[in-house]
Structure 1
Amino acid sequence: MRKFIALLPLLVFLAFHAIGQNQADILKVDTVTYALWQKGDWKNLIKVGKQALNSSIDFYYLRVRMGIAYYETKNYHAAIYHLEKAYQISQQESYLKEYLYYSYLFAGRSMESRIIYSTADSLLKKRIGYKKKNFIDEISLEYGHRIVVDDKAIENFPTDYTAPNDGFQEITRSLNTFNIGLRHNVFRKFSLNHAYTNIQKESFKHLLVNGTIEEIDNSKTSINQYYLSGNSRVGKSLNLLYGIHFLNIRYPVEIPYFSQGNIFTTTETISQTDLVGFMSFYKDLKYFTLGASGSFANLNSAVQAQGDLSLALYPLGNLNLYAVSTASFQRELYSNRKYNDELIFNQLIGLKTLNFLWFEGHITFGNLSNFVTNDGASVFNGIGIIKQNFGGRAIVLINPKLNFKISYTYSQIESSFIESLNVDKKHNPIEYNNHSITGGLVWNL
């Protein structure tokens, strides 16, 4: 105890010396970064700021200046990181909110930008641009056409093919898709999306009914779909998406009947309704976004349970270069209690090539059958199994509120004869290729 008392003056002196030294270092860093900020020397400001933080020197205006420096160099993810640090200390300065608003916006985090906008004063809202409350905040229109370029799969189909039990086999000739979608920003932390899709499909069908072979060269199927989802901001940069997707499939069938000793046929339309439900979480972090989702569906007389994990990377801290990797596990359950498991991996890479032009490429590994993607908005519910799937998309920014998208996808599909009462039993595999082109407009109001 006496030794401690004897050393106490020395300890106090060293403590005050350290504090004084730290204050001197803070003053030096403050002076240098302020001068660099005035000159607009963003590269050196970032360099000095990193050195200061590595030396445990941290203060409000250092974070502000580093955030602005990263913003000016278009690294919006790093800008958000430092501006948020400053915002936690003080939320009073209008220009800080302005930089944070645009950093969120240009990083693609629109809901976070809306939250900042809602806290802005009238002068800042005027600088940003007054946003009146719209009933509709986004409209999207899309039309797609898919065709089989080579008809050999149909021309060479064994017309006398029979199977152990009744069933059918289908090869798609063409498919036309129309989609209209709407987004409503209902509250600052909640948005609602919904879409209607109409699909018209023409197919070759080979049927076995009561042991009798029947072929329909051009069978027509109509599919009407309605998609509804909500997006809730449940935490800081944490979003919960949830929703439901209705699919109504209508197709004609010929029903035989006897009359006055003769056999006749009449055409009836069969209506089948399938359902998909999903839930997803997304967490935005510096340079990447983590996602986890699950879906449950009853497509094509089976039940599907699916889980997805995704990682989106933004190496430049903006939307000039990005990569999204998604791994999925799907289990399909049949009425006879059998099941089939699939592992699917999808990779997407996007690149900005001009101020108004982006290109994306994607490829999928694994078998796609009754598969759900894009947060429940896209459903691969065709009868065949997609064995290969890859393509690309161009996004053209016509003006800040309007963009045009055009995409191409190549698919290799395996068609099989499916038994009517045992949909897990498949025979006579035939592969054919599909090519699809889709164009659309997205208008932000």
Structure 2
Amino acid sequence: MKHLKFNIIFLLLIITSGWNSTRLLAQENLSIIEIDKLTYDYFNQKKWDELIDLGKQSLKNNIDFYYLQYRMGIAYYNKRNYRKAIPYFENVVSITPEDAIAKEYLYYSYLFGLQVEDARNVLVSFNTAEHREKISFYNQEKTINGVSLNYKNILFDDYAINNTVVDNLTQRTRNSLSYYSVNLFNYAANSSIFDFNLSLLSGKNSIYDIAYSPKIIEEKMKQYQLYFSWNKHIGKGTNLKFGLTYMNETLDWNELQQTTTGNVNSPNQTLIYNGSFSNFASYFSFSKTMKNVDFTLASSFSRINSNSLIQPSISISYFPLGNASLYTKTDVFYQHNFTYQSNKNIVLKQSINSTISPNFGLNIFGLYGKIFNFVDDEGMTMYNNLDALNYWYGASANYYFSNKVQFYIILKNEGLINQYTQDEIIIDNPYNSRSILMGMQFNF
């Protein structure tokens, strides 16, 4: 009985294997006419998975024709795997460049696959201005194609060691910071993007140092920054970017005193110190798209707080679904300080991005590595803060009212280390800061 059961199972396995082999063989031996009919039927019935499976098997067996490429592209597009759809639409457009529908599919596949510069190249190839205007996300006739306005408020822990000035203690603490910026960008006709940013960071610090004053010194800080970048599209999925940043920082030290007018005590300030400092940064990057992966090699050279630094980096973005619904970005920085040769540093940034709906997106991010005199955001941000930053983490959300208007908010927590001197010994004092940035972007 056991032998009979074994023989039946074995026979079933042979029959099943033979049926699968026969089915596969029959599929491999299908003619172009039969594959054309089957893929057409799958297309009409919107059976995208079946169409893709048959199409891949056909191409594997060197059966290829115009409408198969067209249908494969549309199948991947409807599955929202835009990056997989791109090569099929590219093949179709190369055969029939006058096909406006195929061009639209290719344009949106690039755009929704976050290959914006490739999308712009397709856009300018349309024959009529009316067609370009109908599908474009910006007005090509305008000099300024977009503007963003940002405000950020930063709050700090109370990490002062002593709230009065004492002989054996020297410390500087942050009290408050506010950030304002306006960003203008232009999509130039020669496959370039120009970006201009003007920002102001203002705040107050407290200085505890009896060498300067027996009272707490209030330090007022203003930091103006101008940023310019040029992105040049040099070929499919390939871009070069160059950025320059200039920062000017002014500091005023004021001793807080009380003066009496009549019977009323009022605060008064005496200027102790006034100074101005300048920082510079330059940035260069080369980026390349390869299927579902974007690679960027970059480097910055900067002069921050009288330190000369070079900061090469590599960035990898991975789109597992071929669209913006889920993708990751990993950045690795190596920082070399020429002023202090022993100061070498590796910093890791990671983000996970998700587009939950056409109108709403979320992003969580983090950074680990000691940041001091650091260049970030493609050269636009310089961290010249008083204290070293050990890590940060946070989240952001974007809401698109339309393809012309979006609102975004960024929440971030930072872990920093303040150093103070007590009895001539330098001591590390960890603390945290929290920030909220809100902004609006308008495309014209």
Q: TM-score, normalised by structure 1?
A: 0.83
Number of aligned pairs?
400
Q: Identify if the C-alpha distance between structure 1 residues 70 and 206 changes in structure 2 by more than 3 Å, giving closer, same or farther.
A: same
Higher mean C-alpha deviation, range 89-98 or range 231-240: 89-98
Q: CA deviation at 1:388?
A: 2.0
2:438 aligns to what? 439
Alignment gaps of 5+ in structure 1: 1-20, 163-167, 256-264, 419-424
Q: CA deviation at 1:175?
A: 0.7
Q: Are 2:158 and 1:151 aligned?
A: yes
Q: Identify if the C-alpha distance between structure 1 residues 281 and 298 changes in structure 2 by more than 3 Å, giving closer, same or farther.
A: same
Q: Identify if the C-alpha distance between structure 1 residues 286 and 76 changes in structure 2 by more than 3 Å, giving closer, same or farther.
A: same
202, 205, 209: which one aligns with 1:200? 202
1:137 aligns to what? 145
Q: CA deviation at 1:178?
A: 0.3
Q: Identify if the C-alpha distance between structure 1 residues 217 and 268 changes in structure 2 by more than 3 Å, giving closer, same or farther.
A: closer
Correspondence list, 1:315-334, <5 A? 315-334=320-339
Deviations 1:173-213 (A, max 9, x none): 1110001001111224111001000000211223475xx66
Q: CA deviation at 1:34?
A: 2.2
Q: CA RMSD in A?
A: 2.6
Q: CA deviation at 1:417?
A: 4.8
AA aligned opposite 2:101: Y
Distance 2:243 2:425 in 1: 32
Is the Cα–Cα contact under 8 Å of residues 332 and 341 in structure 1 kept in the other structure? yes
Q: CA deviation at 1:391?
A: 0.6
1:67 aligns to what? 73
Is the Cα–Cα contact under 8 Å of residues 42 and 48 in structure 2 kept in the other structure? yes
Distance 1:314 1:79 in 2: 14
Distance 2:391 2:37 in 1: 59
2:54 aligns to what? 48
Q: Identify if the C-alpha distance between structure 1 residues 304 and 215 changes in structure 2 by more than 3 Å, giving closer, same or farther.
A: farther
1:260 aligns to what? none
SS where residue 151 of structure 1 aligns?
coil
1:377 aligns to what? 380
Q: CA deviation at 1:386?
A: 0.6
Q: Identify if the C-alpha distance between structure 1 residues 214 and 432 changes in structure 2 by more than 3 Å, giving closer, same or farther.
A: farther
Q: CA deviation at 1:169?
A: 4.5
389, 398, 415: which one aligns with 2:392? 389
Deviations 1:303-339 (A, max 9, x none): 11101101111111111111101111001232xx543
Is the Cα–Cα contact under 8 Å of residues 327 and 345 in structure 1 kept in the other structure? yes
284, 289, 307: which one aligns with 1:279? 284
174, 184, 187: which one aligns with 1:185? 187
Q: Identify if the C-alpha distance between structure 1 residues 131 and 34 changes in structure 2 by more than 3 Å, giving closer, same or farther.
A: farther
AA aligned opposite 2:177: L
Q: CA deviation at 1:266?
A: 5.0
Is the Cα–Cα contact under 8 Å of residues 159 and 173 in structure 2 kept in the other structure? no
Deviations 1:376-435 (A, max 9, x none): 1122111110112111111111222111111111111111259xxxxxx99322111101
2:426 aligns to what? 427
Q: Identify if the C-alpha distance between structure 1 residues 331 and 377 changes in structure 2 by more than 3 Å, giving closer, same or farther.
A: same
Q: Are 2:404 and 1:401 aligned?
A: yes
Q: TM-score, normalised by structure 2?
A: 0.83
Q: Are 2:28 and 1:28 aligned?
A: no
